[in-house]
């Protein structure tokens, strides 16, 4: 072996056990960081692609349902829809002029992965009672990402087979990131008369929107609620 090569081998400093441990921890943290980044990418973009495809299918489904109605034919009964079926079209001007989602019947994980969902058992648009709508704030196109921006006086539009129902919010986060925050188990907000016993007879036509709090978590919920101001039966 050449002398200069032998010298390089013999003079190389050895890594201490502590340096080896630190290096191993660094590699683990780097790997964990990459995995977290990949997970975030999937939550934000991967699930969004799936939901976009589901929304296209739901839009076609709704078009077929409504396109088959003859003049004077009563619209389909939303209560007869199965979980996951196309329900109606939701528009919230506060979120942008082009913000529009097809709503599905049901609020289970598989339902909300397709778009905003209508709480089964709550009222349908135009009925006396409380229409309950839930949606994600992160992932699956994040329909309610800007939920804290909702303000009292904002309008919520729900298009059904017989026309569009417009609700005006009378309770909203009003720009507060913690506004209208409730416990995850507080389901009273979608009761027929929010804040009253569930068997209280409703007299108003209301709507309640719910979503997760914080945005990238689900330890609590946020809500906004309002009353019907116009519609085919409003």
**pLDDT at residue 89 greater than cutoff 80:** yes
For domain 50-230, give the CATH number: 2.40.260.10
Give me the catalytic one of 4, 118, 140, 212: 212
Q: Domain residues of the chain, as ranges?
A: 50-230
Give me the catalytic one of 118, 136, 140, 220: 136
Residue 1, pLDDT score: 47
For the question of residue 212 being annotated catalytic, the response is yes
**pLDDT at residue 147 greater than cutoff 60:** yes
Q: State the Cα–Cα distance between residues 231 and 226, nearest whole angstrom.
A: 14
pTM for this model (two decimals): 0.80
Structure confidence by residue, pLDDT tens digits, 37-48: 444 444 555 678
**pLDDT at residue 4 greater than cutoff 50:** no
**pLDDT at residue 105 greater than cutoff 80:** yes
Higher pLDDT, 110 or 78: 110
Residue 36, pLDDT score: 45
**pLDDT at residue 27 greater than cutoff 70:** no
Higher pLDDT, 140 or 34: 140
**pLDDT at residue 91 greater than cutoff 60:** yes
Average pLDDT, the chain: 85
């Amino acid at each position: 072996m050449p002398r200069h090569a032998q010298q390089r081998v013999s003079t190389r400093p050895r890594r201490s056990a502590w340096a080896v441990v630190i290096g191993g921890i660094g590699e683990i943290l780097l790997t964990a960081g990459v995995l977290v980044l990949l997970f975030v990418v999937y939550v934000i973009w991967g699930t969004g692609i799936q939901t976009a495809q589901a929304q296209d299918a739901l839009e076609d489904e709704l078009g077929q349902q409504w396109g088959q109605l003859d003049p004077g034919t009563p619209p389909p009964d939303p209560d007869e829809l199965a979980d996951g079926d196309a329900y109606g079209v939701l528009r919230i001007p506060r979120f942008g002029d082009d913000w529009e989602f097809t709503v599905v019947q049901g609020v289970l994980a598989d339902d909300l992965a397709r778009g905003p969902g209508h709480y089964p058992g709550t009222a349908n648009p135009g009925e006396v009672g409380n229409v309950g709508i839930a949606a994600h704030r992160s992932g699956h196109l994040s329909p309610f990402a800007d939920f804290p921006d909702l303000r009292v006086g904002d309008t919520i539009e729900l298009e059904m087979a017989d026309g569009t129902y417009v609700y005006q919010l009378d309770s909203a986060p009003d720009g507060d990131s913690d506004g209208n925050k409730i416990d995850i188990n507080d389901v009273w907000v979608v009761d027929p008369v929010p804040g009253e016993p569930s068997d209280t007879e409703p007299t108003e036509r209301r709507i309640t929107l719910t979503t997760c709090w914080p945005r990238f978590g689900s330890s609590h919920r946020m809500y906004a609620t309002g009353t019907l101001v116009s519609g085919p039966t409003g």
